[in-house]
A and B are shown apart, each in its own frame.
Chain A
Amino acid sequence: MGADVNSSETNVTENSLYEVLDHATFNILKAVGENCFFKTVLEEMIGAFVQFDTGFLFIFSEKTNKLIVKYAIGYVEENYRKTQLKPGEGITGLAFETNEPQFFTSREDIMKAMRTMTPFNLSHYIQSTIQAEYPHQTLALPLKDGQGTMGVVTMNGHDPSAPYPDDLLKKLQAFASVVTMTYRYHLLIDRANHLEKELALTTKALHKEHDQQQKTADLYNELTMLSNQKKGIGKMVTALQQYVEVPVALYDSLFNLIAQHGSHSVPLPPGMISTKEVQYVIATKKWQVYTGENGVSIIITPIVGSDSVMGFLLAFMQVEEVHQVNRMLLEYGASLLSLEMIKQHSIKEAQQMFYGELFDKVLLGVYDNQLDEQAKNLGLFPRDFYVALICSDSEQAAVKDSRYVREKWMQWIEEALEFHYIKGIVTERNQQIIAFMSFPELEGKERAVEKLTTFSEYLCEMNKPIFIGIGRVYDSFRDIQKSFDDAEKSLVLLQKKKNARVHLFSESGVNRILLDMKRNELELFLVDHLGVLMDESNQEFLETLLVYVANNKALKLTTEKLMIHQNTLYYRLKRIETLLDIKLTDPERWFDVQLACKIYEYLN
């Protein structure tokens, strides 16, 4: 006999039965939701009714339409687990099918009733039997309630003399109802536990999605607010960085930096634009991750304009941090930055168109009331002082993509004007950058010249690879054209200088006059005053004279420059006087020679 066979011989009285049932009910309720529920139910039922010593607890499976053994006492598990009864099959199946208890009190009746079982199930039963004999009593009790029958508790007794009071069945049925209700409760608890786990997962997922939604909404609100308040792209990039929590920077399509958070920039790898990742981004207009040899990864998100990539939003992080970055925010931010850049580009284009129209009118001398109004709208007042500036590509710059280069120079000129508190408008015209600068009438012309000189020196110090010609200061808006002509002449003079980049027309000296002279007249002057020195055989004397004039007759400076002995210089000067048939000590001749040397340098 197995250890779990009920062998209790306690003869419970009527009063104590209620106590036993009460205790059993308590234990069954305690097992609700636990894995031991079925075991507890069967143990408590058999324990409460001493007439029974073994039994099965069957539960009906709606999926398979069969009664499955969930637990048994007094039988071998390996075998009873194989039992699957159809409704109507055997004593248990009959109880389930009829919804009525089936009570057999003789071994013969039991054996007869069990013959309705399939050979397999009967075989499983026989093999599982520990007592090796059929019981003397079998009671199959349906577990039913208003919603239907859920299973059957089948209990067996092997004591032929066990008492069976008349009301035993009623008491058992009453207790079975309690068990049924408890089983419903057990199922609900089981379901509740499952749902609780599902709910926890759902809540976690929902929270994460909500967090993402909230961050996206917050980012959208902040970036659009900054855009509406015209705070600029720099502020938008800074705001974006607060959300993605890694350094970000915005670049144009040639990887010129547009904006970044803070002053510390993360260096880009050389030839960034040529990397396969960037080329892929340009081709697909979709983000990519570039990972450098230094372990830094860069998420490259394209800033897509109306038909092409107009820039890149770069986010920098260590390679192991790539998966932690909120890429959705980067993509969202890139879209909003794209809109802002398109907006600013459109404004700039409209502004440039407006400027272009104004510049055309001014330079063509078409002055009318509309022009004056346009100028006033731009803060250019008629009686302020005005200067024109022309910026032209140097040969070095010309080999690059001139459109982007000119945009860069325009921006630089605008920033330089702003830096020097000079009011000005800058535009591009005929592949040149042109600026009109104005100086307040109230500050006076002297102050205007002073500010212009400082500005010119600043441009000169920057030593950018471009030529900048600056006209003279004029007294009214309608004289800008004259300053523009000056600036053009300054550019011509710059071409004649070797190292200069910036030229103020007011500092042109005699060159201003030479500019207005015809070349053949100047050449005739040279022939008249330098004569034979211009022959190839006399180049040494011509060079000596040019240096002597440039050093204003200073013998020491001249010999040092020419790296000759003083006697050699005396000799050459004598030869020059002889060849030109003049005396260099004669002031009038000396002036002619000085002028001729200046013209020689001007023409060459």
Chain B
Amino acid sequence: MTYSIIARCPDTGNFGAAIASCFPAVGAHSPAIQADVGIIATQGWVNPSLGGKGMHYLSAGQTANATLNTLLHGDPGRELRQLAILDRFGNSAVYTGIENDEEKGHIIGNQYAILGNLLASRDVLDGMAYAFEHTEGKLQDKLLAALVKGDQLGGDRRGKQSAILKVVALEGYPYVDFRVDDAKEPVLELEQIYLKNKHILIDRYDEWVETIEAGIRLT
């Protein structure tokens, strides 16, 4: 009942995700991101603990593929889930459990992965991939464009309820982190929130971090 895109920016090394679901507060469960380490998204019959566990293996230097296998090995409900991982090397690994509802699937691209279940059609995934690859701008702009495209193509066939756009740049300093937990048009609302507020923190993110570290106000 969810579709997601996770990606790593080849220029900055930032990890980010955009997710939408017919489920309240999807952002509470996924993604798990750690700067300079990796990103893990889990959905389907979601097991949010996989994010934290997987981060431990990624931190230790395991690749996305090895981490995915380790996590699947220890999860008896693996066939109920979709699990996507991107590591610091830019490798993607995704597993779509057989017990996820159709239409389901995933796409692995260059430093990004798209996954979904209960989709209106397979076009949702393909459209998201196209939008991500053909949108100029920062990682969050590309992620949001992909999510909007997925929404336009029907997204979750059961409906819409929540969405999240999240990009992590520096550990401890939230960069892009916007959520819509319950709305009729969560993706459109998420886009509006992002466009309206991005100049406040995102556009001056580095200045903000510097001022925080220097102990002064951002003026």
Q: Do A and B bind each other?
A: yes
Give complex CA distance A322, B63 in Å. 20
Q: Let me know if A120 and B219 touch, CB within 8 A.
A: yes
Q: Would you give the 0/1 interface string for B156-170, flagging 1 where the beta carbon is closer than 8 Å to chain A?
A: 000000000000000
Q: Would you give the 0/1 interface string for B58-73, flagging 1 where the beta carbon is closer than 8 Å to chain A?
A: 0001110110011001
Contacts of A204 in B (CB 8 A): 61
Give complex CA distance A205, B210 in Å. 34
Cβ-based interface call for A170 (8 A): no
User: In the complex, what's the smallest C-beta–C-beta distance from B45 to chain A, in angstroms?
Assistant: 14
Q: Let me know if B98 and A284 touch, CB within 8 A.
A: yes
Cβ-based interface call for A215 (8 A): no
Q: Which residues of chain A in 273-331 are interfacial with respect to chain B, using CB atoms and an 8 Å cutoff?
A: 284-286, 288-289, 322-323, 327-328
Q: Would you give the 0/1 interface string for A189-216, flagging 1 where the beta carbon is closer than 8 Å to chain B?
A: 0000000001001101100110010000
Q: Which residues of chain B in 53-97 are interfacial with respect to chain A, using CB atoms and an 8 Å cutoff?
A: 61-63, 65-66, 69-70, 73-74, 76, 78-79, 87-89
Cβ 8 A contact of B211, one of A84, A198, A202, A285: A84
Q: Let me know if B74 and A323 touch, CB within 8 A.
A: yes
Q: Let me know if A82 and B219 touch, CB within 8 A.
A: no
User: In the complex, what's the smallest C-beta–C-beta distance from A86 to chain B, in angstroms?
Assistant: 11
Give complex CA distance A63, B73 in Å. 43
Contacts of A495 in B (CB 8 A): none
Q: Let me know if A322 and B73 touch, CB within 8 A.
A: yes
Contacts of A327 in B (CB 8 A): 69, 73
Give complex CA distance A321, B67 in Å. 17
Q: Let me know if B214 and A201 touch, CB within 8 A.
A: no
Cβ-based interface call for B99 (8 A): yes
Cβ-based interface call for A454 (8 A): no
Give complex CA distance A209, B61 in Å. 12
User: In the complex, what's the smallest C-beta–C-beta distance from B100 to chain A, in angstroms?
Assistant: 11
Contacts of A202 in B (CB 8 A): 89
Contacts of B214 in A (CB 8 A): 68, 81-84
Cβ-based interface call for A478 (8 A): no
Cβ-based interface call for B215 (8 A): yes
Contacts of B99 in A (CB 8 A): 284
Give complex CA distance A61, B214 in Å. 13
**With A82-B216, A285-B98, A286-B98 known to touch, is A201 a contact of B61 (CB < 8 Å)?**
yes
Give complex CA distance A476, B182 in Å. 87
Q: Would you give the 0/1 interface string for A41-81, flagging 1 where the beta carbon is closer than 8 Å to chain B?
A: 00000000000000000000101101010000000001001
Give complex CA distance A202, B69 in Å. 18
Cβ 8 A contact of B66, one of A61, A84, A209, A286: A209
Across the interface, name the chain B residue whose C-beta is closest to A322.
B73
Give complex CA distance A208, B211 in Å. 42
Across the interface, name the chain A residue whose C-beta is closest to B215.
A82
Across the interface, name the chain A residue whose C-beta is closest to B87.
A205
Contacts of B98 in A (CB 8 A): 284-286
Q: Let me know if B61 and A328 touch, CB within 8 A.
A: no
Chain B: residues with Cβ within 8 Å of the partner, total of: 26
Contacts of B61 in A (CB 8 A): 201, 204-205
Give complex CA distance A328, B72 in Å. 11
Give complex CA distance A83, B210 in Å. 10
Give complex CA distance A311, B61 in Å. 37
Across the interface, name the chain B residue whose C-beta is closest to A78.
B215
Q: Let me know if B210 and A328 touch, CB within 8 A.
A: no
Give complex CA distance A149, B168 in Å. 30
Cβ-based interface call for B206 (8 A): yes
Contacts of A328 in B (CB 8 A): 69
Give complex CA distance A66, B78 in Å. 50
User: In the complex, what's the smallest C-beta–C-beta distance from B212 to chain A, in angstroms?
Assistant: 11
Give complex CA distance A409, B90 in Å. 56
Q: Let me know if A209 and B207 touch, CB within 8 A.
A: no
Q: Let me know if A284 and B79 touch, CB within 8 A.
A: yes
Cβ 8 A contact of A205, one of B66, B70, B76: B66
Contacts of B207 in A (CB 8 A): 63-64, 66
Q: Let me know if A120 and B206 touch, CB within 8 A.
A: no
Contacts of A323 in B (CB 8 A): 70, 73-74
Q: Let me know if A61 and B216 touch, CB within 8 A.
A: no
Across the interface, name the chain B residue whose C-beta is closest to A212.
B66
Q: Let me know if B216 and A68 touch, CB within 8 A.
A: no
User: In the complex, what's the smallest C-beta–C-beta distance from B63 to chain A, in angstroms?
Assistant: 5
**With A61-B206, A68-B210, A285-B98 known to touch, is A208 a contact of B66 (CB < 8 Å)?**
yes
Give complex CA distance A328, B70 in Å. 11
Contacts of B211 in A (CB 8 A): 84
Across the interface, name the chain B residue whose C-beta is closest to A208.
B66
User: In the complex, what's the smallest C-beta–C-beta distance from B104 to chain A, in angstroms?
Assistant: 14
User: In the complex, what's the smallest C-beta–C-beta distance from A154 to chain B, in angstroms?
Assistant: 18
User: In the complex, what's the smallest C-beta–C-beta distance from A208 to chain B, in angstroms?
Assistant: 6
Q: Let me know if B216 and A205 touch, CB within 8 A.
A: no
User: In the complex, what's the smallest C-beta–C-beta distance from B74 to chain A, in angstroms?
Assistant: 7
Give complex CA distance A171, B61 in Å. 49
Give complex CA distance A81, B211 in Å. 10
Q: Would you give the 0/1 interface string for A90-128, flagging 1 where the beta carbon is closer than 8 Å to chain B?
A: 000000000000000000000000000010100010000
Cβ 8 A contact of A201, one of B88, B210, B217: B88
**With A61-B210, A84-B214, A327-B73 known to touch, is A205 a contact of B79 (CB < 8 Å)?**
no
Q: Let me know if A289 and B215 touch, CB within 8 A.
A: no
Contacts of A61 in B (CB 8 A): 206, 210
Q: Let me know if A209 and B63 touch, CB within 8 A.
A: yes
8 cross-chain pairs, A with B, having the tightest CB-CB distances, nearest first: A63-B206, A201-B61, A82-B216, A64-B207, A205-B63, A82-B214, A64-B206, A284-B98
What would be 15 A-B contacts, judged by CB atoms less than 8 Å apart? A63-B206, A64-B206, A68-B210, A83-B214, A84-B210, A84-B211, A120-B219, A201-B88, A205-B62, A208-B62, A284-B98, A286-B78, A322-B73, A323-B70, A327-B69
Given contacts A64-B206, A82-B214, A209-B65, 17 further A-B contacts (CB under 8 A): A61-B210, A68-B210, A81-B214, A82-B215, A120-B216, A124-B216, A205-B87, A205-B89, A208-B66, A212-B66, A284-B79, A285-B98, A288-B76, A289-B76, A322-B73, A323-B70, A327-B69
